[in-house]
């Protein structure tokens, strides 16, 4: 990552673990825009941003299924919540199927935290964590909680059939749920989780499958599909453009 880019990440406490992957902040301290590549990672991000040329704004980014170039504008400060899918239904109370590989603007007063100025990251984490906890309902479907727990625990290795048997929910209903809520099938989402779980191995130079890929050919094909480059090129991460790789050491 460029020396001008500063990044920090915080893991949520146990009460939020089913809904939030992480809180993080990103600063571009330079006077020039910085181009990065964002890889699919199975998260839905809510961004709170401001820069020297743009007013404070809030953006919801849906799931990505391919690598996307993004420009971090000069002087930008961004705080974000990376949600797990369960939060889309129970915290945001809406589908993100219509913004897959896309984003939409959110009301500037969402959760009455429009006064955030993107300078106090600890304050942001505490305030947003409190707002999310207030919105967790008492009647979260245990099947869905178990489904996502097994998905994350296995890094997407379990089939729809296996999960269906484990959580007592039909394969057809599971796939319908994923498509309606997220805009993709469970199989596609699982592939993204498996890809994300391979990041640390690739960064260490282990350019062979350590997750549940069929073989080396399948591994290379999936990495190329989801990153746009071969595993070797991803490992090299020229100019730190793959931002998730550049920040791995801080996780």
State the chain's mean pLDDT as an integer.
89
CA distance 83 to 85: 6
pLDDT digits (tens, 9 = 90+) for 98-117: 999 999 999 888 888 755 66
Specify the pLDDT at position 39. Answer: 94
Q: In the β-sheet with 20-28, what is the strand arrangement from edge to edge?
A: 5-10, 20-28, 77-83, 44-50, 57-61, 103-106
Tokens at 203, concatenated: 């960064």
The domains located in the chain, with CATH, are 5-135 (2.60.40), 142-236 (1.10.10.60)
CA distance 140 to 142: 6
pLDDT digits (tens, 9 = 90+) for 34-67: 888 999 999 999 999 888 777 888 999 999 999 9
Cα dihedral value 181, 185, 187, 189, nearest 10: -40
In this prediction, residues 212-220 reach a mean pLDDT of 85
Specify the pLDDT at position 85. Answer: 96
In this prediction, residues 164-191 reach a mean pLDDT of 96
CB 20 within 8 A of CB 82: yes
Q: Is 0.85 topped by the overall pTM?
A: yes
In this prediction, residues 128-142 reach a mean pLDDT of 95
């Amino acid at each position: 990552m460029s020396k001008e880019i500063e990044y920090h990440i915080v893991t949520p406490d146990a009460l939020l673990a089913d809904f939030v992957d992480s809180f993080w902040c990103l600063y571009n301290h330079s006077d020039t825009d910085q181009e990065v590549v964002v890889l699919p990672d199975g998260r839905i991000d809510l961004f709170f941003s401001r820069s020297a040329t743009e007013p404070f704004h809030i953006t919801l980014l849906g799931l990505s299924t391919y690598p996307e170039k993004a420009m971090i504008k000069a002087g930008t400060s961004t705080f974000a919540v990376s949600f797990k899918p369960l939060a889309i239904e129970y915290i945001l109370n809406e589908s993100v199927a219509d913004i897959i590989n896309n984003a939409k603007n959110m009301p500037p007063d969402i959760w009455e935290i429009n006064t955030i100025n993107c300078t106090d990251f600890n304050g942001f984490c505490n305030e947003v964590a409190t707002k999310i906890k207030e919105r967790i309902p008492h009647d979260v479907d245990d099947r869905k909680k178990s489904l996502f727990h097994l998905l994350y625990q296995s890094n997407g290795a379990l089939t729809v059939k296996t999960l269906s048997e484990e959580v007592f929910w039909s394969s057809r209903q599971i796939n319908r749920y994923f498509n309606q809520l997220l805009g993709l099938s469970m199989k596609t989402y699982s592939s993204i989780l498996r890809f994300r779980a391979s990041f640390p191995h690739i960064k260490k130079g282990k350019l062979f499958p350590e997750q549940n890929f069929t073989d080396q050919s399948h591994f290379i094909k999936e990495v190329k599909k989801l990153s746009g480059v071969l595993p070797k090129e991803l490992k090299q991460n020229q100019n730190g453009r793959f931002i998730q790789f550049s920040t791995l050491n801080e996780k």
